[in-house]
Structures are given as structure tokens and as C-alpha cells.
Amino acid sequence: MEIVKYEGNNLDELITQAKREYGKDVKIISYEVMNERGFIPFLGKKRYALFIQVPTQEEGFFDVLAKEEKNEEIDKFLEKIEKMIDKKIEPLKNAIVKGDSALLDLPAHAAQNSKLDFAQEFKEFTGDALDLIRLLLKKDVDPKVAKMLVKESCGLDIDANKFDLNTSFFKEALVNAIEKKIKFKGPLKIQKGAFKVISFVGPTGVGKTTNLFKIASELVLNQKLKIAVISIDTFKVGAIQQARSFSNILNIPFFAITDSKNLKKTLQNLSGIDVVLIDTVGRSHYDYWRLGEMKEILGSGSDFMDISLVISCNYKNSEAIEIVNRYRTFFPISDIFFTKIDETYKPGILLNLPIKTDIPVSFISTGQKVPEDIRILTPERMANYILGESL
């Protein structure tokens, strides 16, 4: 397109001229009023500039037509794409109509395995059982784990010849299944003079040190036990100071050690102590070398100590399984201690991990505050976290 400018003292005449030259449908873009200076300024005549838009020579009638033809081609092409998209989203549209939440909000593992056909996978279930399975999948519970747990609380619906929940309460159904399938360590009941040693191991930054001191507080303040803390984390900058200041607050003895001989000696010298809590350095489960090093240090006591594997609920399910499997090749894990439940709304790991590894669960950390943000894991609590109910 080209812009043509007309100038003159009469705007109407300029428009008429433009129409005469370019046809009556000529496109007027704008006009300007310019004051022409005379001898006496305020008597100066008005002058106008008119701007019109005309097709350029290259874009003559045939060019414009050709363009329109091309546009038609584009329109056809777009129409084709629209049809293809419609076809693709048809199942989702149906899911919206039917309220099929499992299809609309696929959990991570289901998204990876897009072939997960809900109806086919869970064809043996009906009614509330299917609704509970959908809810569990939304919370990232593994489909196999969900199936197995829900079946625990089902009876056969004779009319449908399918499994349905034998209670109308999801929580009751879930608690019942969890009680049957997951082992819980329960409260830390330690006799005075028992000399129990508990070590906290796990990947970096999962909350080992913070939660060790939550446990220490409970044992000192509520159970009136004599506690000592040993840290073998001489690796992380500030770790010893962090642990020492927590120990000072609780007024309990604190030792920092670097090798297995020292650990043995320190443990032997701790007479009159009921519980020794050992804080370890965070190690990646892929770092076999350093895990071996830590095994050597803990080795001197690992046959009589409990080793608690601390795992953040933030981990993806597959990674969490990997952590447990790699750690358990080095240490006899006595329980899984979950942390950071406050940082996820899809805590399927709480069910997947103990069921897939058969390791008992102990505590759950619910936030950063020491000592209050910790709970003993119970079937009821676990069900509450999964169902998203407040505690």
C-alpha cells in the first residue's frame, strides 16, 4: 500500500479530487489543518493536507486477488488444524462433561505413561471404590498401590459383579487398608537406662539435623530422658555450630567425631545416657564412595543402633524408591522418617514408599519450627495427609 498526500485550501475539493483519481471508495487515512502565514498572521488562510491510501503498483488488482486466494488456502489449512485439534481434545471435553477427574488431572506417573487407560486398568471396581482410586491417583499414589489399598476395603457388589467400598467413608476405607499394609513404628518409648542409639541418615538438606533436635526435645522435655548428641557431620560448613547450639539450648552433651574409632570410644564413654542421637552428613544416594565412608564410621555401632532414613515428601516417587534402595545396600534401615509434608499437596510418596519397600514409617515433619513441627505417623494421620484433610 502507498500513502498519497493532497494539499489545498479546500478540504472538500481535495476529497473530490482523490475520489476522481482513485475511485469513490478511496480510503482516507487522515487530514491535517495547517495555518498559512500571511502578512497579518491571524488573517492567514487555512491550508489542508489530506492523506489517502492507495494500492501500490505491484499490488494491483490481480495482486490483491492473488493474496485473497492465498488467504483462502490459509483458511483451509487452519480449518484442517482446527479439526485435528478438536479430534484430539474430544476425550478431554467428554471427561469434563462426565467429571472424570482422573483424566483431567493426570498424576505425574500417569502422564508419563499416557497409555494408562483408567477404565481398563480399574475395570474390576465400581462406585465409590473408583472415586477413591481417582482421588489417590491425583495425590500421586502409584496406580498399583492405589488398586491394592482400595481392594483391601472392598466387597463384591453383586449387581455389578465388581468391587466397591464396604464403607461410604473414604477415610475409614483408607485407614483400614493402611493398617493392613503399612508398618508403623509408633511412639518412641524408651526405658530409662536403655542406652538406645538412633542415627539419622539421608540425602542432603532433607531435614536430618532439624528433626533430630525435635526428637531430642521430646525425649528431654517430655520423657525426661538423658540424651547425648553426636554429629559426624564435620563436612558441611557451620553444621557443628548448628548442632552445638541446639544441644546447648537443650542442655545436653554434644560431640563431634570424624572416624569410627572415635565413635566407638565416645559411645563407650557415655555412661548414664538413655538415648544417643547421631546426626550424619547429607549424602547423595548416587555417591557410593561417600556412603561407604559413612558406613565405615557408623559401622562400629550399626549392629545395635536404629538407622532412620530421612526423606522429604518433595521427592518424586521413583527417586524416593531409588534413595531407599541405594541407602539400604549400605545401612540396615529401621524406619522411614518423612519431612516437608507442608511443601507438597501430592503426598502419594507416604503410601508408595512403605508399601514398595516394606520398611516401617516413624515420624513426619510438618514444618521448620523446632520442636513443635513433628508428628508420630499413624494410619489415621497418613490417611488425613493423603485425603488432604486438616489435622
Binding residues vs Mg ion (CB under 5 A) = 208-209
Q: Which of 262, 193, 267, 255 is nearest to 224 (CA)?
A: 193
Q: How far is the CB of 209 from Mg ion (least distance, A)?
A: 3
Q: How far is the CB of 110 from Mg ion (least distance, A)?
A: 35
Q: Which does 19 bind (CB under 5 to 8 A by kind): ligand GTP, Mg ion, none?
A: none
Q: Which does 367 bind (CB under 5 to 8 A by kind): Mg ion, ligand GTP, none?
A: ligand GTP
Q: Which of 277, 190, 266, 189 is nearest to 228 (CA)?
A: 277
Q: Which does 342 bind (CB under 5 to 8 A by kind): ligand GTP, Mg ion, none?
A: ligand GTP
CA 141-142-146 angle, to 5 degrees, is 75
Residue 176 or 365 with smaller CB distance to ligand GTP: 365
Residue 102 or 228 with smaller CB distance to Mg ion: 228
Q: Which of 302, 66, 136, 310 is nearest to 211 (CA)?
A: 310
Q: Are 352 and 382 in contact (CB under 8 A)?
A: no
- Which residue of this chain has its Cβ atom nearest to Mg ion in the complex? 209
Binding positions for ligand GTP, rule: CB under 6 A:
204-211, 233, 236, 239, 282, 339-340, 342-343, 365-368, 373
Q: Which does 352 bind (CB under 5 to 8 A by kind): Mg ion, ligand GTP, none?
A: none
Residue type, 161: N
Q: How far is the CB of 236 from Mg ion (least distance, A)?
A: 6
Residue 153 or 209 with smaller CB distance to Mg ion: 209
Residue 134 or 340 with smaller CB distance to ligand GTP: 340
Backbone angles phi, psi at 139, to 5 degrees: -90, 15
Residue 174 or 256 with smaller CB distance to Mg ion: 256
Q: How far is the CB of 189 from ligand GTP (least distance, A)?
A: 23
Q: Are 208 and 201 in contact (CB under 8 A)?
A: yes
Strand partners, 250: none
- The residues, any chain, with a CB within 8 Å of residue 329's CB and separated by 6 or more, are none
Residue 8 or 205 with smaller CB distance to ligand GTP: 205
Q: Which three cell numbers stand for residue 120?
A: 481398563
Burial level of 386, CB count in 10 A (0-12/13-18/19+)? buried
